[in-house]
Amino acid sequence: MARLQRQLLELGPLHPGSITEQYNVCGQPGCRCKDPKKPQKHGPYYQLSFTWQGKGSTRFLRPEQVEPMRRKVASYKRLRELVNEWVALEIERERAEREKEKRAGGN
Ligand SMILES: [Zn+2]
């Protein structure tokens, strides 16, 4: 329990969501992105998508924002893992407590 709490405190900046990489085609005639032989699409563009309190959002990330956001997304994932672990421990503890009471009551 103390280990979980310490790890939670050490998480640092975090953000829910996932980052996707996209390549686009533009509307400009004769652009390299529409080359019939070897089209080179524009990009990559990075998008962060997440759902929070039932509401979905998508944001474009500037190239310099991608790495910091990857770290925040990883921290958020870690947070969820730690919280799940904590809750699982608490449920198990509660169950063990009841077992003990039941045995004590039965005597
Ligand atoms: Zn283009």
Whole-number Å distance, alpha carbon 39 to ligand 1 midpoint, is 9
What counts of helices (H) and strands (E) characterise the chain? 2, 3
Distance CA 72, CA 50 (A): 13
Whole-number Å distance, alpha carbon 58 to ligand 1 midpoint, is 23
Whole-number Å distance, alpha carbon 67 to ligand 1 midpoint, is 26
- The gap between the terminal CA atoms of the chain, to the nearest Å, is 31
Dihedral of CA atoms 31, 34, 39, 42 in degrees, nearest 10, equals 60
pLDDT at 105: 78
Distance CA 13, CA 20 (A): 20
> 60: part of which helix (H) or strand (E)?
strand 55-61
Q: Read off the pLDDT of residues 62-76 as tens digits, 9 standing for 90 and up.
A: 999 999 999 999 999
Nearest to 73 by CA among 5, 13, 22: 13
Q: What pTM was computed for the model?
A: 0.78
* Cβ count near 17 (within 10 Å): 20
Q: How confident is the model at residue 52 (pLDDT cuts 50, 70, 90)?
A: very high
pLDDT at position 107 over 60:
no
Question: pLDDT above 90 covers what percent of the chain?
Answer: 93
